[in-house]
Amino acid sequence: MKNFIYLSIVVLVLFPLFFNDSYALPQLQSEESILSQFEKNVNEILQVAFELKNAILKKDIETLLKYSESEKDLMKYREEFSKGENSSLYCGLLNTNCFLEHLKKDEGLQEKLARKYNIQGKIVPSFMRTSVYDFFRKNPDFIIEIHFIDYPVNPEVKKWMHKYNLKLTDIVDIIYKSPQLKTENTNKNNWHGYPLKLEGDLWVGNCLIKKEKGVGWQYNGGIFWCPKD
């Protein structure tokens, strides 16, 4: 089955222009070097995106752990996976039925999702009610969208990017979506234009970052859970 791929691209030829004087990079990047790095990163991202999709469908925990942000996160995820259906992480990724049970009784998860969806009160099983596993099972003809980071204006973000020598092509949001899904940019409760209320049913997201030399891509926020979440 063929999957389609879309790219949302923000590429700056003069990278130092997005830093203030304190965080200016020492030299300009040529257009050729930017495009070369962009192409390399896209190929790597697609490889990771399909590897993680296959890991979800095979319930391959070791591959899902492979892209952990740190040793501490790896240990945390491994402990959660070891709990099986008693873990909201395990269920949110791999089992819809037990995830719905967690939604009903796990107040910490309810609060986390309430912040994500910007709503008040208790969460009912109407948001993100489908596991990532069931999304891929029900949408074999999914489309992949790759969104690179927008031009940063927050000084703290600039400082953080400078600390890790990050380029715009080193931070990426991946969206796997059903061909039926349409953007709703007028709805404030959306992510990249896609309604949060349809997450799990018609789309899922995963975020990656490449901030450590030689380490490669890692999760940015969690396993199929992004910083904006």
Residues 185-214 have pLDDT tens digits of 655 677 788 887 788 899 999 999 987 666
Residue 89 lies in a domain: yes
Residue 38 lies in a domain: yes
Residue 13 clears pLDDT 60, i.e. is over it: no
Residue 224 lies in a domain: no
- What is the number of structural domains in the chain? 1
The pLDDT value recorded for residue 2 is 58
Residue 125 lies in a domain: yes
Expressed as residue numbers, the domain containing 74 is 4-219
Q: What percent of the chain has pLDDT over 70?
A: 69
Residue 14 lies in a domain: yes
Residue 225 lies in a domain: no
CA nearest neighbour of 98 among 68, 65, 133? 133
The pLDDT value recorded for residue 24 is 41
Q: SS in 3 state form for 8-72?
A: ECCCCCCHHHHCCHHHCCCCCCCHHHHHHHHHHHHHHHHHHHHHHHHHHHHCCHHHHHCCCCCHH
H or E stretch including 109?
A: helix 107-117
Residues 127-158 have pLDDT tens digits of 567 899 999 999 999 999 998 877 676 788 78
Residue 208 lies in a domain: yes
Going by DSSP bridges, is the β-strand pair 143-148/4-8 parallel, antiparallel, or unpaired?
parallel
200: three-class secondary structure by DSSP: coil
Residue 227 lies in a domain: no
| Amino acid making up residue 155 | P
144: three-class secondary structure by DSSP: strand
